[in-house]
A and B are shown apart, each in its own frame.
Chain A
């Protein structure tokens, strides 16, 4: 079945550092890929998404590129802030049909940004 693998952390960085959170996936067909973020005490929010190969999703300074050849969707940000401290989830959604309409999530990466 479909699966998503991401580093679990915690990942601790200093403010203004460069961030990469790796995400790789296994899926049949051509999934859509997502990054969700969960800030402390809040619910899951969509951060960005990409629906086909070579698409780049971006939001709030974060970017991720759908790489079919490496089955990856790594999350990057050039300069992190303390307010970026959260848990980040990589997820995929397979082609419509049957039980594939739910999202398959990675385990989540806990990011801690120190001032």
Chain B
């Protein structure tokens, strides 16, 4: 079946603009995760959803970042008033369920964001 998909694959924006990144998880997966991959910080966990709920937003880098998930499926990560330090690859992952420490997370190809 189809894997995790993300759009756009690349996004170039100007500092101060808002951007929306989209993630389509594997069908039937109830848990969804956002990560950021940057040269300086490596891979950082941002937020997770169980269904449409995100119990813990403390991993988001600043209040300019927000995320939502609707219908237990598609998720969007929104960055308002982008800054150059937001430039990174944003990765989405999904898993069949949240519970279970060994649950495998399946990653999408990422959205490469460049803020000029």
Contact A96 B101 (CB under 8 A): yes
A104 close to B (CB within 8 Å): yes
Residues of A within 8 A of B100 (CB): 96
Are B102 and A43 in contact, with the CB atoms below 8 A? no
Most buried by A among B46, B101, B107, B108: B101
Complex: chain A residue closest to B49, CB-CB? A101
Q: Say whether A49 contacts B98, CB under 8 Å.
A: no
Residues in chain B near residue A99, CB distance under 8 A = 45, 48, 56, 58-59
Q: Which residues of B contact A30 (CB under 8 A)?
A: 101
Of the residues B43, B101, B102, contact of A108 by C-beta under 8 Å? B43
Q: Which of B36-64 contact A (CB under 8 A)?
A: 42-48, 55-56, 58-59
Q: Is the CB of A101 within 8 A of B110?
A: no
Size class of the contact patch on chain B: 20 to 34
Indicate whether A98 sits within 8 Å of B102 (C-beta atoms), given known contacts A43-B109, A45-B107. no
> Which residues of the partner chain A approach B110 to less than 8 Å between Cβ atoms?
43
User: A-B pairs with CB below 8 Å: how many?
Assistant: 65
**Chain B residues whose CB sits within 8 angstroms of the CB of A46 once the complex forms:** 104-106
Bitwise, B89-116 to A at CB < 8 A (1) or not (0) is: 0010100001111111111111000000
| CB of A103 closer than 8 Å to a CB of B | yes
CB pair B91–A43 under 8 Å, yes or no, is yes
Cβ of A67 within 8 Å of any chain B Cβ, yes or no, is no
Asked if B91 and A44 sit within 8 Å, CB to CB, the answer is yes
Please name all residues of chain B whose beta carbon is closer than 8 Å to the beta carbon of A32 when the two chains form the complex.
101-102
Residue B79 CB within 8 A of the other chain: no
Can you show 16 pairs from A to B with CB atoms below 8 A apart? Answer: A31-B101, A43-B4, A43-B91, A44-B107, A51-B101, A89-B43, A94-B101, A95-B101, A96-B100, A98-B56, A99-B45, A99-B58, A101-B48, A102-B33, A102-B48, A106-B42
Residues of A within 8 A of B (CB): 30-32, 36, 42-46, 49, 51, 89, 91, 93-96, 98-99, 101-108
Chain A to chain B: the 10 pairs with minimum beta-carbon distance, closest first: A102-B45, A51-B102, A105-B43, A44-B107, A32-B101, A99-B56, A43-B109, A107-B42, A32-B102, A43-B107
